[in-house]
């Protein structure tokens, strides 16, 4: 696993360079305008993590990540987290730094929490395929785990797609996190019964509509563990009707919060209040892009108000 910076005159070009060298599974950790001392390399920097492909299409035009690489590659993540610009950008992107807007929307309840009271924080991310469960788990692991110096444990359960858990495995390797890959419900049960961390995140598969039995089996397994809180992940660029169906389909998980992703991919957000009302649970987090570091926000009513009224990214610029 390598962490590399790619520089180019546009962000898209920097990302294309990274994908060519690290492949489509590479994780975008951070993107930004290049710091003045590196500006000669390109106006934009994209920091990616991934495996260098055996035969890149072209020799790397990109320099390696501009921090000294330790002899032990496992130490790289610590350096990444310790990088001052990594932390500064996180603070700068924190919603709490943004000017509050006066008009709350009482109809959208928000509760940006994790886990159940009285238990070690253990959260299962459930929802349809492609909703952003895996990405959000990694974002939460970074923001609410590593950067708050909490021990993090990742559990991935996805027996249905070959290689489905590989991306999370890469992520865990990169940041030296405990990772358990479960292919059977029994393995998941054993994993939940043992092991401890301040924050445990369980990534689950996106069941198709003909996998109701498998879905119910997983829900029943999670119910055996009172410490597990399920959060339902829904993608806002889906048809509103499909999200309403998903709310019903995943009802046996008794999710206590909603995570809404892909805010950045749609301007049509007028249905969000109705969706949240139907789900009858507060919104905890908003996914606003693919970048693991910056593209997650804690939900709050004012922010939801802006987003519903002005869409994204208008709301973002209004709040910045
Ligand atoms: N634009 C955008 N893409 C996202 C967001 N969250 C996840 N994605 C992307 O959506 C795709 C599916 O996400 P993934 O986490 O694998 O979904 P899962 O099947 O629910 O685990 C990936 O390409 C992610 O990078 C988001 O908030 N905005
Ligand atoms: Mg996934």
pLDDT band at 88 (very low <50, low <70, confident <90, very high): low
Close Cβ partners of 33 (under 8 Å, ≥ 6 residues apart): 43, 44, 45
Residue with the bigger pLDDT between 196 and 193: it is 193
Measured from the Cα of 125, ligand 1's closest atom is 20
User: Under a CB-based contact definition with an 8 Å cutoff, are residues 235 and 106 in contact?
Assistant: no
- Taking the domains of the chain in order of start, what are their residue ranges? 2-98, 121-319
The pLDDT of residue 244 is above 80: yes
State the pLDDT at residue 75.
32
CA distances to 70, 102, 283, 305 from 137, in Å: 27, 31, 16, 25
Q: Is 95 exposed, middle or buried (0-12, 13-18, 19+ CB in 10 A)?
A: middle
Confidence (pLDDT) at 188: 97
pLDDT band of residue 132 (cuts 50, 70, 90) is very high
pLDDT at 92: 56
CATH of domain 121-319: 3.40.50.300
Q: Which residues line ligand 1 (CB under 6 A)?
A: 129-135, 206, 261-262, 264-265, 287-290, 295
pLDDT score at 199:
97
Mean pLDDT of 308-312: 86
pLDDT of residue 34: 84
Nearest CA to ligand 1 atom 4: 290
Checking if the pLDDT of 57 tops 80, the result is no
CA atoms of 27 and 23, how far apart (whole Å): 10
Residue nearest to atom 19 of ligand 1 (CA): 130
pLDDT recorded at residue 83: 59
What value does the mean pLDDT take over residues 18-42? 83
Q: How far is the CA of 284 from the CAs of 5, 124, 169, 257, in angstroms?
A: 31, 13, 25, 6
Closest CA to 21 of 71, 67, 57: 57
Residue 319: the pLDDT is 46
On the 0-12 / 13-18 / 19+ scale of CB atoms within 10 A, 246 is buried
* Protein residue whose Cα sits closest to atom 7 of ligand 1: 132
What's the pLDDT at 297? 95
| pLDDT mean over 270-274 | 91
**Protein residue with least CA distance to atom 12, ligand 1:** 130
What is the atom index within ligand 1 of the atom nearest the CA of 28? 25
Model confidence at 99: pLDDT above 50? no
Q: Quick one: average pLDDT of 141-154?
A: 93
Q: Which of 13-22, 58-67, 82-91, 207-216 has the lowest mean pLDDT?
A: 58-67
| Residue 268 CB neighbour total at 10 angstroms | 11
Instruction: Report CA(170)–ligand 1 centroid distance (Å).
Output: 16
The answer on pLDDT for 143 being more than 50 is yes
Q: Compute the average pLDDT of residues 178-203.
A: 95
pLDDT at 209: 83
187 membership: H or E segment, kind and range: helix 185-193
């Amino acid at each position: 696993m390598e962490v590399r910076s790619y520089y180019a005159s546009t962000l898209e070009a920097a990302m294309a360079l990274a994908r060519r060298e690290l492949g489509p599974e590479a994780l975008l950790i951070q993107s930004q305008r290049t710091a003045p001392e590196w500006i000669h390399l390109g106006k934009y920097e994209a920091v990616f993590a991934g495996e260098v492909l055996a035969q890149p299409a072209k020799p790397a035009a990109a320099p390696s990540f501009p921090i000294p690489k330790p002899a032990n590659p496992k130490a790289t993540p610590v350096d990444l987290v310790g990088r001052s610009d990594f932390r500064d950008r996180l603070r700068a992107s924190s919603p709490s730094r943004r000017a509050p807007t006066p008009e709350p929307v009482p109809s959208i309840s928000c509760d940006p929490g994790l886990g159940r009271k009285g238990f070690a924080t253990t959260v299962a991310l459930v929802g349809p395929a492609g909703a952003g469960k895996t990405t959000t788990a990694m974002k939460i692991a970074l923001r609410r785990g590593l950067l708050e110096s909490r021990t993090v444990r990742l559990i991935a359960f996805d027996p249905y797609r070959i290689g489905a858990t590989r991306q999370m495995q890469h992520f865990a390797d990169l940041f030296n996190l405990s990772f358990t890959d479960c292919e059977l419900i029994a393995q998941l049960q054993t994993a939940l019964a043992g092991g401890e961390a301040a924050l445990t995140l369980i990534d689950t598969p996106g069941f198709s509509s003909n996998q109701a039995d498998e879905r119910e089996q997983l829900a029943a397994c999670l119910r055996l563990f009172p410490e597990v809180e399920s959060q339902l992940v829904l993608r806002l660029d889906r048809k509103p009707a499909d999200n309403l169906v998903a709310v019903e389909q995943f009802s046996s998980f008794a999710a206590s919060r909603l995570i809404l992703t892909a805010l950045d991919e749609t301007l049509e957000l007028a249905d969000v209040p109705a969706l949240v009302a139907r789900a009858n649970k507060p919104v905890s987090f908003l996914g606003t892009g693919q970048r693991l570091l910056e593209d997650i926000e804690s939900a709050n009513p004012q922010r939801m108000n802006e987003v519903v009224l002005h869409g994204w990214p208008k709301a973002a610029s209004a709040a910045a």
